[in-house]
Structure 1
Amino acid sequence: MKYNRIRSASIAVSLFCASFYLAPIDTLHASPAPTKGRTYYEERGDIVWEVPTERKVIALTFDDGPDEIKTPAILDLLKQYDAKATFFVVGSRVEKLPDIVKRERKEGHDVGNHTFHHPSFHRISRNKAQSEVDLGQASIVKATGSETYLFRPPGGTYTDSLVKLSKEKGLKIILWSWHQDTRDWRRPGVNRIANKVIRNARNGDIVLMHDYVYKSTQTVEALKIILPELKKRGFTFVTVSELLAKRKTPEGLIEVNK
């Protein structure tokens, strides 16, 4: 009897350990929790997820570009529907396709810093993080002639250290509305991407999409559905900078420029 109890306990421990080591890689290597929660950073204005506003405005954002085919296609669609957007660009790609980034700025869109190599910030040193931000900024300046104050860390990873670094560099961390993560990088299908945005559209949303997804044009095709439908519903597509200028006062009575 005693042997059976010991054997049962041993099996239970083994099963627990096995369940841990067989956990998905994404779970085992998930980003560490930020030092403080969203409310803390949001109230201080350190990080922006969305902008409370009474106006029917929405900010489409595109990460990881530019792409030589998909980015121009997206720019053509935005122009067709008189829409503005924000492109968070990767410096190593900007260096290869500077004319596309120049076009983004020329046509009235925001260009934001998305680092130079798209690293995981929780796995690199502060010096390396600073280098990534600086090189990303330099690539934008070289392509467009001016800097950006908008910054989106890869994967939405943020910590006190990154917030402090961003402030030192004069950058505003821009993330996205939690209900507007299209996960288009997973190539879930054109309709799923479009429905995610349309069904969840709220005033002041920041939508996360990507203009560079390997071997996928689903985002481009989804925009052909999103843009006319939301425009029909009365939404105006604005840049993140324009959205930030439409914040409500704490009393929620009027809107002010910042």
Structure 2
Amino acid sequence: MRKFILVILGIVILLIQQPSNVLSKDRFDFEKAGDAIWEGETDEKIVALTFDDGPHPDYTPEILDILEQYNMKGTFYVMGAHARKYPGLVFRAFLEGHEIGNHTFTHNGSITYLNDELTKTNEIIEKITGKYPATFRPVGGNYNETVISIAKKKGQKVAMWAWDQDTRDWDDVDSKTIANQVIGNLSPGDIILFHDAGGDRTPTIEALPIILRFFKEEGYEGITVTDMIERTSER
């Protein structure tokens, strides 16, 4: 009898817990609500090139030069501390038609400090460019309902990247590996993850011309994340 009661209690507990699991949000819920984006849903040959962790006094200017050479636009997810240190680089990127996004102030992704991290960086970006950043990229791509809610309250969409377009340039890979990753997985609407700081970004700089030449040959246009959001169809 006792065993039977325990079984019944177990079933009741499962039934009580089930609605919470069913109602929990996933990527597709956030995309449908328009609160986050991983990639654009489109047949148009457009991609969004994104660069995290900068600006960097050496790497960022080289990347900007390459983007200008190939007439491609990108989105730079800057850290507030770096933006405050190198405002001229942020302003240059902005003047050249690139988007400036928020990537926290100190690369601290803790929920406890996220509100302050976003606020400080938003203020710095707006002071430099005169424009409030429209998008936010979480540290390490770590997101949940709380992260997205905090960004949403600040009027910002969370910008991730296509699951097969993490170049892993943060993982000490060579330029050939980076280029092959992007070219081998290329699809219309891709949001592609690069870095312009946080380590040796020489391989990224060496890979970019290879990638962008391929884009040109295939008729792809490099646009900002906000442009991707505006130009792609609703899910």
TM-score, normalised by the number of residues in structure 1: 0.80
The residue correspondences of 1:142-181 to structure 2 (distance < 5 A) are: 142-181=127-166
Shift of 1:249: 4.5
Q: What's 1:113 paired with?
A: 102
> Residue type matched to 1:113 in 2?
N
Corresponding residue number in structure 2 for 1:218: 203
Distance in structure 2 (CA, Å) of the matches to 1:199 and 1:130: 37
Kindly state the Cα deviation for residue 147 of structure 1 after the two structures are TM-superposed.
1.1
Question: Structure 2: which 5+ residue stretches go unaligned?
Answer: 1-23
Q: Which amino acid aligns with 2:122?
A: Q
C-alpha separation in 2, matches of 1:82 and 1:39: 32
Of all paired residues, the percent bearing the same amino acid is 43
Please give the per-residue CA displacement for 1:9-57, whole angstroms capped at 9, x wherever unaligned: xxxxxxxxxxxxxxxxxxxxxxxxxx53212212222210001112100
**Rounded Cα–Cα distance in structure 1 between residues aligned with 2:72 and 2:200:** 25
Q: In structure 2, what is the equivalent of residue 79 of structure 1? A: 68
CA distance in 2, matches of 1:129, 1:77: 33
Q: Distance in 2 between matches of 1:71 and 1:216?
A: 9
Q: TM-score if structure 2 supplies the norm length?
A: 0.87
Among candidates 116, 122, 125, match of residue 140 of structure 1: 125
Runs of 4+ in 1 over 4 A off after TM superposition: none
Q: Which residue does 1:52 correspond to in 2?
A: 41
SS at match of 1:62: strand
RMSD: 1.2
Secondary structure, aligned partner of 2:100: strand
1:232 aligns to 2:221 (yes or no)? no
Aligned length: 212
Larger Rg: 1
- Asked if structure 1 preserves the Cα contact closer than 8 Å seen for 2:195 and 2:201, the reply is no
Q: CA deviation at 1:120?
A: 2.6
Residue in 2 aligned with 1:191? 176
Which letter does structure 2 place at the counterpart of 1:206?
I
